[in-house]
Chains A and B, each alone.
Chain A
């Protein structure tokens, strides 16, 4: 249904390499849906893209207030990109609060589309404004497009059976239509989505389609803009089949895939928590893949049920965020002691305590590595982008079953809710790692704490004849697994568990350096800082700087030879969304290296410009 009219042809079409749009409105205005639809359409037409949803913890904070503002930033591009962009080129502000909260981020000269239908005195008051930002000079230096979207939607939906409240709920689709016109995008993908979403209420599907069409036509008819823009498909993406994916969804799919590659039935014990709930929701829909999901009564029951299921022969998963990890800690210690495979996913958010539930942070790293009573080593790996969450989840499953150990998989709010195009792996490239359970009635009896070459103990499923054995959190004797209070045995077992986990480094690759492999600054990152770091290094290298990047997937144990890589640079910079936890870890592991911490703890990802500036300051020294 791409529109064509006489004016369409007259409007000049300008090409851009990359554009950043931020949709901002009240948390009830449907900005997340709008942003997701724009993203999806851009993905299907072949742009590279990255998104950054940013919304309040309250479901519906008081309408029209600043804390209630919900935003969705999407960057779409005809070249490879790694971040959702530092500054929007276009800001959609559905009300005064959305305008004042977001305007300071808009690029100078950028476009701001304002819904003037929501700018009455009482609307200004709700946003704690004494003056109208449309007239007080706030918007000087920007291209302001004023539209009374409330009124336009009412006109467009005249004659429908919808109540006036329902009519106003279609405002976001009017906005979406307008942006589709401005950036020359087809409406089909969204139309299809609406028809599926509102299959049982076709009148709502119809109304939203009308609103979207009205927005699209408005661009055409009302001469709001001086021209239309086009961002061509990205041709530099490697060949393959792609889909748009959000981090939580990719992670959920990775867990299902990991269980299949291990030949096990997956069991997820979980308790809803922001921003991890999406994984539980996604896995609950994979029942035909044999996924068992158990929404437990609390975080503790969630991990305990998963560990119980692991004892019974399933691949156990539990998914949560920081406060939930705190509650699961005792059971994680038991998982270390009973040596059963279990994947613990922590989608990190701002802390401590309840902290910033909907904002991103990386401050649970040291908790993941060291935060348990006793010597309780657990391997820790971290996803770096939404699509990478799939591969990382598969890797977590591999380590868990091959080493008979709990594994902590770190994601964060930025990865969980962000989206990017995912180059789908070829099925034949996914290497199986099938689990071999102990066979019934083994000759010479069964020893539950015997070890293989990886120091992993055997996995003996209840229900298998001749393998009756007892496990628990009390210290176990080597080989037999019987309770043992023997001092020498305790030290032996503590060291055994430690050596097993540290031995995982034999099965992981040393990561490749991107950019320069020798030079002035090596930027070492882990987790969701990947995009910003990559962009910053690309930018600096274009300027001829000698800068390299190293991104860690395996954060504990660390891969081999990192010291050799670091030694090739004058200094090592570690940007993190915490007060320098990875830097502290690297300093303790590699005391001879010059490691500089670059912390940011604002619940917001690093901007590329911030990193470029920081790295340049080191280059000048």
Chain B
């Protein structure tokens, strides 16, 4: 890209006041995404942010790109319509655990299976924020909230497992407090062809503060998380001395030298699924990074390919051809 045209992070800041709570994890994500936009080199008028409803879904207002703040849970359908109408656009979708997995769970499943070329950022704060603190489909069992005063009896769902089950071609996880990691993951998502699904752990300072501290707190992070890097050994710990080895279907902690090499492109999403469920054992680290990255036929491209084929087989449609078709007769 020519020097004169190079965009900076600042070019992607809109003129609207950002209205998230002070200290909200969303600020870090916004800042990171604005930086990524400058880095990927797509002109800002070719970018469109789409969202549903919720705290995270205010995101498009703060991006100086095209944006559509739609209705609760339906962002995947809007994004599919926009991307299919104009595949030249770079379409990004911002959603939350409630918007994307509760009211909009159905649409999320279908955009993932269709592999529409849309980048999805799911901000997971394990709580309903904009409605002021009710439990969400990712809240841990037992979480006390306004609507679960004795603790939630719902079993939570894991967004990464869900996305893998829907056949997503790119699935990753990152966290709002680890800017460098977030940058790497979002860049990989941006470059993926097809649907990219990124779960971002995001702290809600008001209603669920510290939800991720048990593994994400800076002094614990190295020992309590593992970064899944394709083609790299699965090692973790401050001294990178520990590793993960999968015996049969069961992952276990081993000395770093014995760690498996992580592959995100296996034929089956099985290994990624095993990783996504690993932390159900509290002794195991929480996996972050790239769970899955494979190529598949892309919905929007296939739609236009069929139109192209139909036009070349039947010739482009005209009003004359449309109306004066079938069996006609003349009255004189």
Interface residues of B in 73-90 (CB under 8 A from A): 74, 76-82, 84-86, 88-89
8 A-B pairs within 8 Å (CB atoms) are namely: A241-B329, A290-B311, A301-B74, A301-B76, A309-B84, A462-B82, A470-B60, A470-B61
Interface of A toward B, CB cutoff 8 Å: 40, 43-44, 46, 189, 234-235, 237-244, 253, 256-257, 260-261, 265, 267, 269, 286-292, 294, 296-298, 300-302, 304-314, 316, 330-331, 334, 338, 424-425, 427, 430, 440, 461-474, 482-483
Assess A465 versus B314: contact at CB under 8 Å? Given A260-B319, A297-B110, A308-B78. no
Known: A300-B107, A301-B107, A313-B85. 11 other contacts (CB 8 A): A238-B331, A297-B107, A301-B76, A309-B81, A309-B85, A310-B81, A312-B89, A424-B324, A462-B82, A463-B86, A463-B88
| Residue in A292, A300, A427 whose beta carbon sits within 8 Å of that of B85 in the complex | A292
Assess A243 versus B328: contact at CB under 8 Å? Given A256-B322, A308-B85, A482-B16. yes
In whole angstroms, what is the CA distance A269 to B80 when docked? 10
Q: How far is the CB of A395 from chain B (nearest CB, A)?
A: 16
Assess A312 versus B330: contact at CB under 8 Å? Given A301-B74, A468-B44. no
Among the interface residues A257, A269, A300, A440, which one has the most CB atoms of the partner chain B within 10 A?
A300
B71 located at the interface, meaning its Cβ lies under 8 Å from any Cβ of chain A in the complex: yes
| Closest chain A residue, CB of each to CB of B64 | A468
The number of residues on chain B lying at the interface, defined by a beta carbon within 8 Å of a beta carbon of chain A, is 61
Among the interface residues B69, B76, B320, which one has the most CB atoms of the partner chain A within 10 A?
B69
The answer on a CB contact under 8 Å between B68 and A468 is no
In whole angstroms, what is the CA distance A466 to B315 when docked? 36
Q: How far is the CB of B2 from chain A (nearest CB, A)?
A: 15
| Closest chain B residue, CB of each to CB of A41 | B327
| Closest chain B residue, CB of each to CB of A294 | B84
Q: How far is the CB of A479 from chain B (nearest CB, A)?
A: 14
The proximity string for B residues 34-61 relative to A, scoring 1 for CB distances below 8 Å and 0 otherwise, is 0000000001111010100000000011
B152 located at the interface, meaning its Cβ lies under 8 Å from any Cβ of chain A in the complex: no
The answer on a CB contact under 8 Å between B45 and A288 is no
Q: Which residues of A contact B78 (CB under 8 A)?
A: 304-305, 307-308, 311
| Closest chain A residue, CB of each to CB of B320 | A427
The list of the 7 closest CB pairs from A to B, nearest first, reads A308-B81, A472-B69, A289-B317, A305-B81, A304-B77, A287-B310, A312-B85
The answer on a CB contact under 8 Å between A468 and B65 is yes
| Residue in B16, B81, B325 whose beta carbon sits within 8 Å of that of A304 in the complex | B81
| Residue in A43, A238, A257, A464 whose beta carbon sits within 8 Å of that of B329 in the complex | A43
In whole angstroms, what is the CA distance A306 to B16 when docked? 28
B326 located at the interface, meaning its Cβ lies under 8 Å from any Cβ of chain A in the complex: yes
B239 located at the interface, meaning its Cβ lies under 8 Å from any Cβ of chain A in the complex: no
| Closest chain A residue, CB of each to CB of B300 | A292
A interface: dominant SS: mixed
The answer on a CB contact under 8 Å between B329 and A44 is yes
The answer on a CB contact under 8 Å between B323 and A253 is yes
Q: Which residues of A contact B85 (CB under 8 A)?
A: 265, 267, 292, 308-309, 312-314
Assess A297 versus B106: contact at CB under 8 Å? Given A307-B78, A312-B81. yes
The answer on a CB contact under 8 Å between B322 and A305 is no
In whole angstroms, what is the CA distance A44 to B107 when docked? 46
The answer on a CB contact under 8 Å between B77 and A472 is no
The answer on a CB contact under 8 Å between A242 and B331 is yes
The answer on a CB contact under 8 Å between B314 and A288 is yes
The answer on a CB contact under 8 Å between A46 and B329 is yes
Q: How far is the CB of A365 from chain B (nearest CB, A)?
A: 25
B316 located at the interface, meaning its Cβ lies under 8 Å from any Cβ of chain A in the complex: yes
The answer on a CB contact under 8 Å between A257 and B322 is yes
In whole angstroms, what is the CA distance A44 to B326 when docked? 11
B307 located at the interface, meaning its Cβ lies under 8 Å from any Cβ of chain A in the complex: yes
B212 located at the interface, meaning its Cβ lies under 8 Å from any Cβ of chain A in the complex: no
Q: How far is the CB of A76 from chain B (nearest CB, A)?
A: 14
Assess A469 versus B66: contact at CB under 8 Å? Given A294-B84, A309-B84, A463-B88. yes
The answer on a CB contact under 8 Å between B45 and A463 is yes
| Residue in A243, A256, A308, A464 whose beta carbon sits within 8 Å of that of B68 in the complex | A308
The answer on a CB contact under 8 Å between B330 and A240 is yes
Interface residues of B in 96-133 (CB under 8 A from A): 106-107, 109-110
The proximity string for B residues 290-332 relative to A, scoring 1 for CB distances below 8 Å and 0 otherwise, is 0000000000000100110111011111111011111111111
Q: Which residues of B contact A338 (CB under 8 A)?
A: 68
Q: Which residues of A contact B50 (CB under 8 A)?
A: 308
In whole angstroms, what is the CA distance A580 to B118 when docked? 47
Q: Which residues of A contact B326 (CB under 8 A)?
A: 243-244
In whole angstroms, what is the CA distance A427 to B14 when docked? 47
Assess A334 versus B323: contact at CB under 8 Å? Given A241-B328, A468-B44. no
Q: Which residues of B contact A467 (CB under 8 A)?
A: 45, 66
Among the interface residues A235, A243, A287, A427, which one has the most CB atoms of the partner chain B within 10 A?
A287
| Residue in A240, A304, A306, A465 whose beta carbon sits within 8 Å of that of B70 in the complex | A304
The answer on a CB contact under 8 Å between A462 and B71 is no
In whole angstroms, what is the CA distance A553 to B317 when docked? 28
Q: How far is the CB of B68 from chain A (nearest CB, A)?
A: 6
Assess A292 versus B84: contact at CB under 8 Å? Given A257-B319, A331-B74, A471-B69. yes
| Closest chain B residue, CB of each to CB of A460 | B66
Interface residues of B in 1-53 (CB under 8 A from A): 14, 16, 43-46, 48, 50
Q: Which residues of B contact A468 (CB under 8 A)?
A: 44-45, 64-66
Assess A308 versus B82: contact at CB under 8 Å? Given A288-B314, A296-B77. yes
Q: Which residues of A contact B315 (CB under 8 A)?
A: 288
Q: How far is the CB of A327 from chain B (nearest CB, A)?
A: 11
Q: Which residues of B contact A308 (CB under 8 A)?
A: 50, 68, 70, 77-82, 85
In whole angstroms, what is the CA distance A360 to B121 when docked? 45
Q: Which residues of B contact A297 (CB under 8 A)?
A: 106-107, 109-110
Q: Which residues of A contact B329 (CB under 8 A)?
A: 43-44, 46, 241-243
| Closest chain B residue, CB of each to CB of A243 | B328
